[in-house]
C-alpha cells in the first residue's frame, strides 16, 4: 500500500507527493516520468491557478495502474492508453499492486496497430518506416499495414527524437544493445525455461521482468553519469 503523506491541497497531492506515495511499489518512479505520462495523455491531473499539478486519489490509482502494466506486462504506452479507456476508479481498490482493475488475462491478446493511423499521428513518411525496417527495428505485417504495439511505440518515440535531428540510423545502437541484453538474459534463464516444471518457468518469468526493470534503470543512470562527465548536465 502507498505510504501516508501530507496532503497538498484538500484531498489532492502535489506531483512530488504523488511520486513519493508510489515509491514503495515503484522505486524508480520520478517526477520527470510522471510529466512524460501526462504529456502522452495517459494522466490528466488538475491544475491550480499557478499551474501546479494536483493529483486526486483517482489520479494516483490510475498512475499506479499504468506503471503496473508497464512493469508486469511490458505493455507499450499506446496499448496501455487504449486499455485505460475502459478503466474505472474504485476507491476500495486503492493503489494497484498484485491485483488490478485490469486483469492480466487481458494482456494475452494484444491488438495490432494500423501503420496508416500511426503515420498520420506521428507525421512520419512511409519511407522512414522502410529505413527502420532495414535496421531490424520494426517488421510490418505481410501486407505492411500493421505493426505490433512495441513497434508502434518505437516509431512514436522516434518521431519525437527525430525533431531533435536524431535519424533512424542512430537507433541502431539501441537495437544492438537490446540484442546483447537478450543474449545475456537467455544465457541466464534458458536452463530454467527448458525445465518442464511450470513453477520453475513462472519463477523465470518473474526474474526476467525484474532483470528488464533493473537493466532499464542501469541504462538511465549510466547515461546520466556519462552526460555529467561530458558537462552536458
- Per-residue pLDDT, averaged over 63-81, amounts to 84
The pLDDT score that the predictor gives to residue 209 is 83
Beta bridge partners of 114: 146
111 in Cβ contact with 141 (< 8 Å): no
The pLDDT score that the predictor gives to residue 92 is 56
- Per-residue pLDDT, averaged over 113-122, amounts to 89
pLDDT tens digit sequence for 147-194: 888 888 899 899 999 999 999 999 999 999 999 999 999 999 888 877
Share of the chain above pLDDT 90, in %: 33
Joined grid coordinates for residue 66: 499504468
The pLDDT score that the predictor gives to residue 94 is 52
Mean pLDDT of the chain: 82
The rounded distance, in Å, linking the Cα atoms of 88 and 34 is 20
105 in Cβ contact with 35 (< 8 Å): no
Domains of the chain (ranges, CATH numbers): 15-108 (1.10.1660.10), 112-171 (no CATH)
Beta bridge partners of 78: none
The pLDDT score that the predictor gives to residue 89 is 83
What share of residues in the chain are helix, strand, coil (percent, to 5)? 60, 5, 35
51: left (phi over 0), alpha (psi -120 to 50) or beta: left
The pLDDT score that the predictor gives to residue 95 is 57
The rounded distance, in Å, linking the Cα atoms of 147 and 140 is 5
| In the predicted structure, residue 5 carries a pLDDT above the cut 70 | no
The rounded distance, in Å, linking the Cα atoms of 70 and 80 is 8
72 in Cβ contact with 44 (< 8 Å): no
| In the predicted structure, residue 1 carries a pLDDT above the cut 90 | no
At residue 107 the predicted structure's pLDDT band, cuts being 50, 70 and 90, is very low
Joined grid coordinates for residue 55: 493529483
The H-or-E segment that residue 146 falls in is strand 146-147
pLDDT tens digit sequence for 207-219: 888 888 888 888 8
- Per-residue pLDDT, averaged over 97-108, amounts to 44
At residue 141 the predicted structure's pLDDT band, cuts being 50, 70 and 90, is low
The pLDDT score that the predictor gives to residue 170 is 93
| In the predicted structure, residue 59 carries a pLDDT above the cut 60 | yes
The pLDDT score that the predictor gives to residue 105 is 44
The rounded distance, in Å, linking the Cα atoms of 175 and 98 is 31
The pLDDT score that the predictor gives to residue 182 is 92
The pLDDT score that the predictor gives to residue 113 is 83
Residue 170, phi then psi, degrees to nearest 5: -70, -20
Indicate yes or no: pTM above 0.75. no
The rounded distance, in Å, linking the Cα atoms of 81 and 182 is 27
Cα 230 from chain centroid? 28
| In the predicted structure, residue 62 carries a pLDDT above the cut 90 | yes
Amino acid at each position: 500500500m502507498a505510504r501516508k503523506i501530507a496532503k497538498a491541497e484538500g484531498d489532492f497531492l502535489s506531483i512530488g507527493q504523488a511520486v513519493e506515495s508510489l515509491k514503495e511499489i515503484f522505486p524508480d518512479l520520478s517526477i520527470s516520468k510522471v510529466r512524460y505520462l501526462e504529456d502522452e495523455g495517459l494522466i490528466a491531473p488538475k491544475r491550480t491557478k499557478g499551474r501546479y499539478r494536483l493529483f486526486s486519489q483517482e489520479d494516483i490509482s490510475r498512475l499506479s495502474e499504468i506503471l503496473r502494466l508497464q512493469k508486469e506486462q511490458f505493455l507499450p504506452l499506446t496499448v496501455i492508453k487504449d486499455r485505460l479507456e475502459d478503466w474505472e476508479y474504485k476507491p476500495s481498490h486503492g493503489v494497484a499492486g498484485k491485483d488490478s482493475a485490469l486483469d492480466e488475462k487481458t494482456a494475452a491478446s494484444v491488438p495490432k496497430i494500423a501503420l496508416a493511423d500511426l503515420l498520420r499521428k506521428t507525421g512520419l513518411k512511409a519511407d522512414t518506416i522502410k529505413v527502420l525496417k532495414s535496421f531490424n527495428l520494426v517488421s510490418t505485417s505481410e501486407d505492411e499495414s500493421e505493426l505490433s504495439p512495441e513497434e508502434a511505440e518505437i516509431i512514436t518515440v522516434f518521431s519525437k527524437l527525430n525533431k531533435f535531428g536524431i535519424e533512424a540510423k542512430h537507433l541502431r545502437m539501441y537495437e544492438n544493445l537490446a540484442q546483447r541484453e537478450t543474449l545475456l538474459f537467455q544465457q541466464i534463464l534458458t536452463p530454467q525455461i527448458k525445465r518442464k516444471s511450470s513453477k520453475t518457468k513462472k519463477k523465470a518469468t518473474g526474474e526476467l521482468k525484474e532483470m528488464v526493470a533493473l537493466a532499464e534503470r542501469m541504462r538511465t543512470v549510466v547515461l546520466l553519469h556519462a552526460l555529467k562527465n561530458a558537462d552536458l548536465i
